[in-house]
Amino acid sequence: MALVTFSNPAHKDKTVYAVAGSHTETLLKLAKTNQVPVQFDCQDGECGHCVVRVTSVDKKDRMGYHLTDKEKTVLRELGKLTADDIDRLAVDDMPSEWRLACQMIVRDEDVLVEY
Ligand code: FES
């Protein structure tokens, strides 16, 4: 089971620890279920409002995770990743720090999500 810690400097006292039940729900769904105020609009990987930074909370390496095509487009438009960054992550089989909460499926790893 994954332990997902949501954190935001404006809500320091509202850090939420949530355990994901399945590997089919998105980070945004998990946030909404736990009343974490992650911003969103389209919920379809197109607007970029739900951009979050995801990092590991333990010493383990993060699991490789490929960005969806929508994430690649939006994260480039937001200036979070360059085309070179995206290529490098794919070659190295590494996850991106920057994700769209509505596109990221929660997996079995403990992560810190800054929103
Ligand atoms: Fe629009 Fe996630 S809510 S990209």
Q: Distance from first CA to last CA of the chain, Å, rounded?
A: 22
Q: What is the pLDDT of residues 29-85, one digit of tens each?
A: 989 988 889 999 999 999 999 999 999 877 666 666 778 899 999 999 999 999 999
Task: Tell me what ipTM this predicted complex has.
Answer: 0.99
On whether the CB atoms of residues 21 and 75 are closer than 8 A, the answer is no
Of 8-22, 40-54, 74-88, 96-110, which gets the smallest average pLDDT? 8-22
Residue 112 has pLDDT above 70, yes or no: yes
- Looking at domain 3-114, its CATH architecture is Roll (3.10)
> Does ligand 1 lie within 6 Å of residue 36's CB atom?
no
Residue from 27, 32, 39, 43 whose mutation best tests the ligand 1 pocket (most atoms within 8 A of CB): 43
Q: Domain coordinates of the chain in residue numbers?
A: 3-114
Count other Cβ atoms within 10 Å, centred on residue 47. Answer: 15
